[in-house]
Amino acid sequence: MIELRDLSVGYHAQAVLEHVDLDFPQGSVTVLLGPNGCGKSTLLKTALGLLPPVSGEVLYDGRPLSALAGSEVARKAAYMAQNHAIPSITAKRMVLHGRFPYLSFPRRYRKEDYEAVRRALESAGGLELMERPMQELSGGQRQKVYLAMALAQETQTIFMDEPTTWLDMRHQLEVMRTARALAEAGKAVGLVSHDLCLAMRTAHRVAVLSNGRVRLVAAPDEVFESGALDEAFGVLVRRVDTDGGWQYFCE
């Protein structure tokens, strides 16, 4: 499990988010929710070791992140970035990059790597995209490939940074359903979102971030009842009871 202990994060020793205590348990989608610029993505990058912490520490299964090699971290936590480069390669080759942390001498991918690629594409719902060039894929299809790349890392934890940006409604819902399914299959999912309504429907746990602090970490209905969202976003959050559970909306 990945744990953040009294962690302050930011750029050039300037903290944007301070004294964060948070963990990402397996079997849960933990959503980091907050307005633009509150430090959600910075927190995620620090948890992955892509940025140095301003203070505090990140623990991977009880061991400090600073003591782990890059490839060791990559075998424990996968990262779906918000923006991706699109090289002119096939989807299969793209997903194969997810096996990079397992690459050893003589620097060639093995049969089990190709099997992992197939499994990952299958669980991301993109098996039919396997041989298609990345540049010919739509935004939604590409997102499936990026997800498959993260899944191919076969990690306990997956971090997703704004995975629904650029997607239409149908694909947004699909991504969120996949996040939930991954958690239900036993993975820890950490997800950054500024889309309040979508995040509240997806999360098992919500961490509300605003004004440089984590305001609250709780289940969605508890968060709703606390009024922390109204304060953080400066809107009035309401909900209606539907067949599939609570649906949230803003006014």
Partner 1 sequence: MAGRENRKKRIPLRLLAAGGLALLAAVISLCTGAVMVAPGELVQALLGQGGGTTGGSIVLLVRLPRTLGCLLAGAALAASGAIIQTVMANPLAAPNIIGVNSGAGFFVALCSASLPAALSVKLSPLAAFLGAFACVMLVLLIAEKAGSSRIVLVLAGVAISNMFGAGTDAVVTLSPDALVGYSDFRIGGLSNVTMEQVAPAMWVIVLCLAGALLFSNELDVLTLGSDTARSLGLPVGRMRVLALAFAAALAGAAVSFSGLLGFVGLIVPHIIRRLIGSESRNLILGCALGGAALLTVCDVAARLLFAPYELPVGIVLSFAGGPFFLWLLIRKRGRHL
How would you class 5 by CB atoms within 10 Å of its CB: exposed for 0-12, middle for 13-18, buried for 19 or more? middle
Least distance from partner 1 to the Cβ atom of residue 203, Å = 22
Rule CB under 8 A: is residue 71 a binding residue for partner 1?
Answer: yes
Least distance from partner 1 to the Cβ atom of residue 159, Å = 8
Which of these segments, 10-18, 119-127, 131-139, 166-174, binds partner 1 (CB under 8 A)? 131-139
Rounded to whole angstroms, the Cα distance separating 23 from 118 reads 31
CA 74, 79, 81 angle in degrees (round to 5)? 140
What would the two tokens of residue 16 be?
A: 């944007």
Rule CB under 8 A: is residue 78 a binding residue for partner 1?
Answer: yes
Rule CB under 8 A: is residue 55 a binding residue for partner 1?
Answer: no
When the beta carbons of 107 and 170 are compared against partner 1, the nearer one is: 107
Rule CB under 8 A: is residue 216 a binding residue for partner 1?
Answer: no
Rule CB under 8 A: is residue 38 a binding residue for partner 1?
Answer: no
Least distance from partner 1 to the Cβ atom of residue 62, Å = 20
CB atoms within 10 A of CB 89: 13
Rule CB under 8 A: is residue 213 a binding residue for partner 1?
Answer: no
Rounded to whole angstroms, the Cα distance separating 126 from 118 reads 9
When the beta carbons of 138 and 211 are compared against partner 1, the nearer one is: 138
Contact set for partner 1, span 81-120 (CB under 8 A) = 81, 83-89, 93, 97-98, 100-101, 103, 107, 109
What would the two tokens of residue 54 be?
A: 């301003």
Rounded to whole angstroms, the Cα distance separating 202 from 204 reads 7
Which of these segments, 48-56, 118-126, 221-229, 230-238, binds partner 1 (CB under 8 A)? 48-56
Q: Before 25, cis peptide (omega within 30)?
A: no
Rule CB under 8 A: is residue 124 a binding residue for partner 1?
Answer: no
Rule CB under 8 A: is residue 169 a binding residue for partner 1?
Answer: no
Rule CB under 8 A: is residue 14 a binding residue for partner 1?
Answer: no
When the beta carbons of 48 and 206 are compared against partner 1, the nearer one is: 48
Start-end of H helices in the chain:
40-47, 70-74, 91-96, 111-123, 139-152, 169-184, 196-202, 220-226, 228-233
Question: Taking Cα atoms as reference points, which of 4, 6, 38 lies closest to residue 22?
Answer: 4
**Contact positions vs partner 1 (CB under 8 A):** 45, 48-50, 69-75, 77-79, 81, 83-89, 93, 97-98, 100-101, 103, 107, 109, 131, 133, 135, 153
